[in-house]
Amino acid sequence: MLKLHFAPKSRAIRAAWMLEEMGLAYELVSYALGDPQMRSPAFRAIHPMGRVPVLEDGDVRIMESGAILEYLISRYGGSAFRPDVDSPDFPAYLQWMHYAEGMLMPPVNSYMVETFFLPPERQSEVHAKRAKKLLGHMLVAVEAGLEDRAYLAGEFTAADIMTGSAVMSARTIGVEMSELPQLTAYIDRLSQRPAYIKAAAL
């Protein structure tokens, strides 16, 4: 059976969300973020940096949420969640699959490091503010991508899990979205999906 190494409020939600959208059975191995077990040799053998998500499927072990989503789609019949190569939505799908980690998550991470992970005396308000401002700029492209559509690549796809969850993270850390009405509606739309609700409650 598929086995997902998971922690709430981490990128592992993306993998659980995809599994739920596809209706696949899986075993959940859940950690709390910062759990010392994630630093143990046993878990380091599964992910060398002690991170989640990791998906195990028999002999296959795979890191990186984007890779896990593509793997599930490709090996478990998830073609409804990825446009065909010949579809006009295919380029947008690829772009938003990669935009999440390429553009949006680095400033989200910087913000978290500067406000949460570092001890208070080493946190920098300047760095945190800069990260949030940068993220605001990055989100304008997503807003534009949603101007004439409910989802980023036509119907709901894995790209909405990747970039959508990054947009949700941006809102969680308090990025101002009053001038991004498409994004606000998009978050509402995603938040109401039963598969998302299940994954977020894990």
**Cβ–Cβ < 8 Å for 82, 145:** no
Any contact of residue 48 with its own copies (CB under 8 A)?
yes
- Say which residue the tokens 């789609």 belong to: 73
Any contact of residue 13 with its own copies (CB under 8 A)?
no
Any contact of residue 126 with its own copies (CB under 8 A)?
yes
Any contact of residue 189 with its own copies (CB under 8 A)?
no
Any contact of residue 64 with its own copies (CB under 8 A)?
yes
Any contact of residue 38 with its own copies (CB under 8 A)?
no
Q: Which residues, 6+ apart, have CB-to-CB distance to 179 below 8 Å?
A: none
In angstroms, the Cα distances linking 137 to 97, 133, 141 are: 18, 7, 8
Evaluate the CA torsion angle 96, 99, 100, 104 in order and state its sign.
negative
Stretch that binds its own copies, among 1-9, 34-42, 95-103, 150-158 (CB under 8 A): 95-103
Any contact of residue 111 with its own copies (CB under 8 A)?
no
Q: Record the tokens describing residue 24, joined without a space.
A: 């696949």
In angstroms, the Cα distances linking 76 to 96, 155, 189 are: 21, 19, 25
Stretch that binds its own copies, among 18-26, 102-110, 167-175, 194-202 (CB under 8 A): 102-110
Residues that bind its own copies (CB under 8 A): 48-49, 60-68, 70-71, 74-75, 85, 90-91, 94-95, 97-99, 101-103, 105-106, 109-110, 122, 124, 126-127, 137-138, 140-141, 144
